[in-house]
Amino acid sequence: MTPVTDQATGESAGAAFQPLPPTATIGILGGGQLGRMLALAAARLGFDACILTPEEQAPASRVAASCLVAAYDDPVALAEFAARCRVATFEFENVPARVVDRLRAAGVRMAPGPLALATAQDRIAEKTFFRAVGVDCAPFAEIAAAAHIPEALARLGAPALLKTRREGYDGKGQSWVRAPGDADAAFAAIGAAPAILEGRVDFVRELSVIAARGWSGEIAAYPLAENTHENGVLRRSVAPARVSDATAAQALDIASRLLVGLDYVGVMGVELFEMADGRLLVNEIAPRVHNTGHWTLDACQVDQFEQHIRAIAGWPLGPTRPFARAEMTNLLGDEADAWAVYAADPQARLWLYGKAEATPGRKMGHVNRLTGALPE
Ligand code: AMP
């Protein structure tokens, strides 16, 4: 497979990239918990993180070397951000494409690049890309109006899941369509936005793979995690998932096709459906570090956050083999109020995100536990 070269600059993974020296500043667009853990990893390797976020007192800003509080497309803030950072990344995929374009025009190396961002921002572009690189996914149809739904439903089979093309997360912007008569209500329920209708996948488990690619084209993947969701939000990841060698190899092949096809630099989260016959279908990709990779913080020598910083800084990728089995549980809403219980539990490794307000379902922290030895 030939990497797609970035037409705008000619820069691509495989191009020479001098490793970024410690004390350099790495820019992070977004101030949430993923940015926070990236900033901590950057600091550990001697870098300064600079956060750009519209939010005052964001989780990431509280631990980063510097912070700019402004709208993502604020020209003054972007110019200052570009002046500080030679390399920049993002911690959520809804950063406007024009922001990434502006930073690149100002000489900042963005990793991942604009192709990965554009692909992950639009479910139709994403699934079209999956097909182009030979990766299986749910059958789908593009829906621009409620009137398109009955015909698509007839083709895909009922029930089918209507999702907004853009800006859906944690199961938001989704509605099941069980019969043609549901079309209007389902379309209204997702805000009458441009959408995709996906055939229902009768999966047996939800798995994910966290994989990284460096500027040199080097690829490294962590073992699969098995994930359970509640109300559309990740509750728990168990890793390494107990899968056959063939399934593990299939996941690595999928991740490699996606990384190479996007000429990707950094860590990517790939959400997978495992079918009864062992086949893996890709649900979606996250062009960033991922909640289902938080277990690596305590079970791996180099966790996903350090791996991302290493990748975008042009450092060698770290080892991905865990030294123990691990279980990660998200602390949602007021569950984080039990911090003292976790702090007193010698088996629990507590991560809190420094968020003041615990609204229901909000990701406030997570707990990792090492659950056993791995075979040699
Ligand atoms: P998403 O926001 O696309 O990750 O979807 C959220 C959750 O909905 C997934 O983790 C699955 O549990 C479920 N889901 C998404 N797409 C499908 C599908 N095509 N068939 C069955 N379940 C799905």
What's the pLDDT tens digit per position in 14-38? 556 799 999 999 999 999 999 999 9
Residue 188 sits in the same domain as residue 223: no
**171 C-beta closer than 6 A to ligand 1:** yes
Position 14 scores a pLDDT of: 54
pTM for the structure as a whole:
0.94
Position 265 scores a pLDDT of: 98
Alpha-carbon gap, residue 352 to 364, rounded angstroms = 6
Q: Is residue 325 part of a domain?
A: yes
**233 C-beta closer than 6 A to ligand 1:** no
Burial (CB count <10 Å: 0-12, 13-18, 19+), residue 1: exposed
Query: What distance in angstroms lies between residue 181's CA and the mean position of ligand 1's atoms?
Result: 22
Domain count, the chain: 3
Residue 99 sits in the same domain as residue 190: no
Q: Is residue 308 part of a domain?
A: yes
Q: Give the DSSP letter of residue 93.
A: T
Q: Is residue 125 part of a domain?
A: no
Q: Is residue 126 part of a domain?
A: no
Position 232 scores a pLDDT of: 86
Q: Which residues contact 341 (CB under 8 A, 6 or more apart)?
A: none
Q: How would you list the strands of the sheet with 48-53, edge to edge?
A: 66-69, 48-53, 25-29, 87-90, 109-110
Q: Is residue 133 part of a domain?
A: no
Question: Which CATH number characterizes residue 159's domain?
Answer: 3.30.1490.20
Q: What is the largest CA-CA distance in the chain?
A: 60
- Of 281, 300, 308, the closest CA to residue 40 belongs to 308
Residue 104 sits in the same domain as residue 223: no
**235 C-beta closer than 6 A to ligand 1:** no
In which residue ranges of the chain is pLDDT below 50? 1-10
Alpha-carbon gap, residue 176 to 189, rounded angstroms = 10
Helix-then-strand count for the chain, H and E: 11, 18
**201 C-beta closer than 6 A to ligand 1:** yes
Q: Which residues contact 231 (CB under 8 A, 6 or more apart)?
A: 171, 361
Alpha-carbon gap, residue 272 to 247, rounded angstroms = 11
Residue 195 sits in the same domain as residue 211: no
- Of 125, 50, 130, the closest CA to residue 90 belongs to 50
Residue 211 sits in the same domain as residue 360: yes
Strand, helix or coil for residue 211? strand
Distance from the first to the final alpha carbon of the chain: 34
**292 C-beta closer than 6 A to ligand 1:** no
Q: Are 240 and 325 in contact (CB under 8 A)?
A: yes
Question: Quick one: tokens of 49?
Answer: 């993180």
Question: Which CATH number characterizes residue 222's domain?
Answer: 3.30.470.20
Query: What distance in angstroms lies between residue 283's CA and the mean position of ligand 1's atoms?
Result: 7
Atom 5 of ligand 1: nearest residue by CA position: 171
Task: Write down the residue that tokens 């690596």 correspond to.
Answer: 296
Beta carbons within 10 angstroms of residue 87's beta carbon:
21
Query: What distance in angstroms lies between residue 129's CA and the mean position of ligand 1's atoms?
Result: 18
Residue 175 sits in the same domain as residue 309: no
Q: List the domain range (segments joined by +) for residue 155.
A: 139-199
Q: Is residue 291 part of a domain?
A: yes
**157 C-beta closer than 6 A to ligand 1:** no
The secondary structure of 62-73 as a DSSP string is: TTSSEEEES-TT
Atom in ligand 1 nearest the alpha carbon of residue 199: 19
